[in-house]
Chains A and B, each alone.
Chain A
Amino acid sequence: MLHVELELERRDLKVNVAFTVQPGERMALFGPSGAGKTSILEMIAGLLAPKRGRVHLAGRELTRVGDGPPVTVPPWARRVALLRQNPGLFPHLTVRQNIAYTAAAVAAGEPALSLMAERLEIHDLLHARPRALSGGQAHRVALARLLLSGHDALLLDEPYTGLDARLRRILTDVLRDESRSRAIPSVLVAHELGEAQAFADRLAVMDRGLLLQMGSPAEVVRRPSTKRVAQLVGYLGFIPSSAVSEGGASGPRGSSIGVHPERVRTGDARPGEIGMTGTVTDVRPSGTSWEIEVRIGDGEDSARLRCLVPDDPPALGERTGVAVTSAPWFDASGNLLEASPIRVI
């Protein structure tokens, strides 16, 4: 079990987080760049000293600052594996020597090394030098080295950088197998929602050094606890309740609904959906379909929605109906309203 309570104060950033990751559990720290995600990993790995806080891993106290006698276990004794954005391969060693750098990897033996290299599709590179590798290859070599190092926790900082979709899937499978079979807690840092969702059982949304919401990936995406979380997980439009008058919907003063571009379509609302009408303000091709922008409401209360239309897009300036599925509803201060006040058609 990995238990973390950390406070950090830097010129541009104040971090204050607390979370626990169970053995075998995979948690993703998701948030925009500069939210303090990497700093948290570095504090757990012992590269960065917190202002106050504690880190416990598998029954051992690794860090304690500000409460009782200070404890700081040096990085080499923490048994925490950290994959950094810079793969940090040793240029004077071959790929194989890099992977077999740790005593644990040597002890695991040749078959384990070959198997890992094959799974990560780097077995053809074992005799190459790091400088001959592409960015994506170097990253996978660093990961193989890390996974064979036999540590008690796995920390991954943007591990999917530079990998195509197929390799991302392979990497996800390898990471899942590894964390499950060895029953170690793992924490992944990502600034793309898809990466965080692909990896994690649990999603923690971070912004400006604070944890905003923690839950299953599906829950966080469907029921974001605040408007800010909704924005971070991809809700692009917020429609004031006063503009959602059609279909009899109405909510408290100042409240609004969040609209995700993947959960909205043009046309009349069906049962369970929220319907509204607006004016088409933009039409452009997007992939095999069309992306249109619709203005809902008038004057100060108006808001713009984007949605995808597979065929026959409406013309510019045309009035069109828009239907939204299971949209979260936020009060005037931006918090999620537990019970949707909307009267569904």
Chain B
Amino acid sequence: MAIIPTTAPEGVSRPLGIARPRLTTALALGGGIAVWIALLGPVITLFAHLSAHGISAAWSTPDALTPLLVSLEAGAVTLGILVVCCTPLAWLLARNRLPFARLFEAGLLATLLLPPLVIGLLLVFMVGPSTPIGHLLSHLHLSATNTFAALVIAEVYESAPYYVLGAQSAFAGIDPNLEQQASLLGDRPYRVWKRVTLPLAAPGLAMSLAVAWARAMGAFGAVIIIAYHPTGLPLQIWTTFQETDLGVALSFAFLLLVVALPLPLAAYAWSTRASRRT
């Protein structure tokens, strides 16, 4: 992350080309802080409306923590699926190894562009009980609606484009000469991938994974359509709001923040440290 120097420390000369950035720095800094506060506004409001009573009311009911566990489990499975299935896709896209690469990218962008609610509706048409896939699944005593699998499917749809596009740019940033060099030194493609490509892309992959995790944990639009049960945290917030009251609903939102935030924060911190090292 680039930090614009406001003042040079004593005895350290200003780098050439940065000529007295007083006004621009002030503007950038002011704008940045304004945006940050604006974005943070809802979170601040959340804290303002939290009450000890609401929290204890929400968390003391039996099974109060079940939605949290459901969300965490579905999020973890989603991340696993993204890492295993989408990482190779991102690499192929970055290295232009796919025919009609633009078509793949257009597909990802389409998923990103459609409102999650629409994705949920379309998923019903695709894997719902009355579709061929639904029939097939029911023969296997499985279902892709209102099950844990359905929750994971919805979360994958909502988070995969973020991960693939981020991972693609992480791979694209690697000098292909380095991979070629490793291969000249005797490494087979798999070893090149393991020893050079992956370590160099890791900071970028971690960042994308953090974003994907945040999307998956907050997934709501597609989830409410095809995975009303088992109830994850976002849905729990919605039903509590409808059935009980806003205060109790917000305390679940607080729980979501507290539980889901450390992982992406850690990923960001590690990623920044790792990319500074190279």
Using known A-B contacts A47-B180, A75-B180, determine if residue A92 contacts B278 with beta carbons closer than 8 Å.
Answer: yes
Closest A residue to B198 by beta carbon equals A92
Using known A-B contacts A92-B200, A92-B277, determine if residue A149 contacts B177 with beta carbons closer than 8 Å.
Answer: no
Closest A residue to B202 by beta carbon equals A92
Interface residues of B in 175-222 (CB under 8 A from A): 177-178, 180-189, 192, 195-196, 199-200
Closest A residue to B189 by beta carbon equals A76
Whole-angstrom distance between the Cβ of B154 and the nearest chain A Cβ: 36
A82 within 8 A of B: yes
Whole-angstrom distance between the Cβ of B193 and the nearest chain A Cβ: 12
Q: Which residues of A contact B177 (CB under 8 A)?
A: 84, 86, 88
B184 touches A90 (CB 8 A): no
Whole-angstrom distance between the Cβ of A318 and the nearest chain B Cβ: 51
A90 touches B182 (CB 8 A): yes
A82 touches B199 (CB 8 A): no
Using known A-B contacts A129-B278, A131-B278, determine if residue A149 contacts B186 with beta carbons closer than 8 Å.
Answer: yes
Docked Cα-Cα span, A264 to B188, in Å, equals 56
- Which bucket holds chain A's interface residue count? 20 to 34
Whole-angstrom distance between the Cβ of A135 and the nearest chain B Cβ: 15
B186 touches A103 (CB 8 A): yes
Docked Cα-Cα span, A77 to B196, in Å, equals 18
Q: Which residues of B contact A109 (CB under 8 A)?
A: none
Docked Cα-Cα span, A131 to B175, in Å, equals 14
B181 touches A102 (CB 8 A): no
A88 touches B187 (CB 8 A): no
A290 within 8 A of B: no
A79 within 8 A of B: yes
Docked Cα-Cα span, A146 to B181, in Å, equals 10
Interface residues of A in 73-112 (CB under 8 A from B): 74-77, 79-82, 84, 86, 88, 90-92, 101-104
Closest B residue to A149 by beta carbon equals B185
Interface size on B, residues (CB 8 A): 19
Q: Which of A76, A80, A82 has a CB less than 8 Å from the CB of B188?
A: A76
B199 touches A92 (CB 8 A): yes
Q: Which of A47, A84, A91, A131 has a CB less than 8 Å from the CB of B200?
A: A91
Q: Which residues of A contact B187 (CB under 8 A)?
A: 76
Docked Cα-Cα span, A131 to B183, in Å, equals 21
Closest B residue to A93 by beta carbon equals B199
Interface residues of B in 138-193 (CB under 8 A from A): 177-178, 180-189, 192
Q: Which residues of A contact B183 (CB under 8 A)?
A: 74-76
Closest B residue to A102 by beta carbon equals B185
Using known A-B contacts A75-B183, A129-B277, A129-B278, determine if residue A88 contacts B188 with beta carbons closer than 8 Å.
Answer: no
Docked Cα-Cα span, A149 to B278, in Å, equals 24
In this complex, the member of B186, B187, B189, B192 whose beta carbon has the largest number of chain A beta carbons within 10 angstroms is B186
A292 within 8 A of B: no
Whole-angstrom distance between the Cβ of B88 and the nearest chain A Cβ: 20
Interface residues of B in 6-54 (CB under 8 A from A): none
Q: Which residues of B contact A104 (CB under 8 A)?
A: 186
A45 within 8 A of B: yes
Q: Which residues of A contact B186 (CB under 8 A)?
A: 76-77, 79, 102-104, 149, 151
Q: Which residues of A contact B189 (CB under 8 A)?
A: 76
Using known A-B contacts A75-B184, A149-B185, determine if residue A88 contacts B178 with beta carbons closer than 8 Å.
Answer: yes
Closest B residue to A103 by beta carbon equals B186
Q: Which residues of A contact B200 (CB under 8 A)?
A: 90-92
Q: Which of B180, B188, B196, B277 has a CB less than 8 Å from the CB of A90?
A: B196
Q: Mark A39-72, 1 if CB is under 8 A from B, else 0.
A: 0000001010000000000000000000000000
Docked Cα-Cα span, A91 to B184, in Å, equals 17
A145 within 8 A of B: yes
Q: Which residues of A contact B277 (CB under 8 A)?
A: 92, 129
Docked Cα-Cα span, A146 to B200, in Å, equals 21
Docked Cα-Cα span, A47 to B179, in Å, equals 12
B185 touches A45 (CB 8 A): no
Whole-angstrom distance between the Cβ of A147 and the nearest chain B Cβ: 12
Q: Which residues of B contact A84 (CB under 8 A)?
A: 177, 181
Interface residues of A in 128-187 (CB under 8 A from B): 129, 131, 145-146, 149, 151
B185 touches A91 (CB 8 A): no
A76 touches B196 (CB 8 A): no
Whole-angstrom distance between the Cβ of A45 and the nearest chain B Cβ: 6
Using known A-B contacts A90-B178, A90-B196, A91-B200, determine if residue A101 contacts B185 with beta carbons closer than 8 Å.
Answer: yes
Known: A92-B199, A92-B278, A145-B185. 14 other contacts (CB 8 A): A74-B183, A75-B180, A76-B184, A76-B185, A76-B189, A76-B192, A82-B184, A88-B181, A90-B200, A91-B278, A101-B182, A101-B195, A149-B186, A151-B186
18 contacting pairs across A/B (C-beta < 8 A): A45-B184, A47-B180, A47-B184, A75-B184, A76-B183, A76-B192, A80-B184, A82-B184, A84-B177, A84-B181, A88-B177, A88-B181, A90-B178, A92-B278, A103-B186, A104-B186, A131-B278, A145-B185
Smallest CB-CB A-B distances: 6 pairs: A88-B181, A91-B278, A76-B183, A92-B199, A75-B183, A92-B278
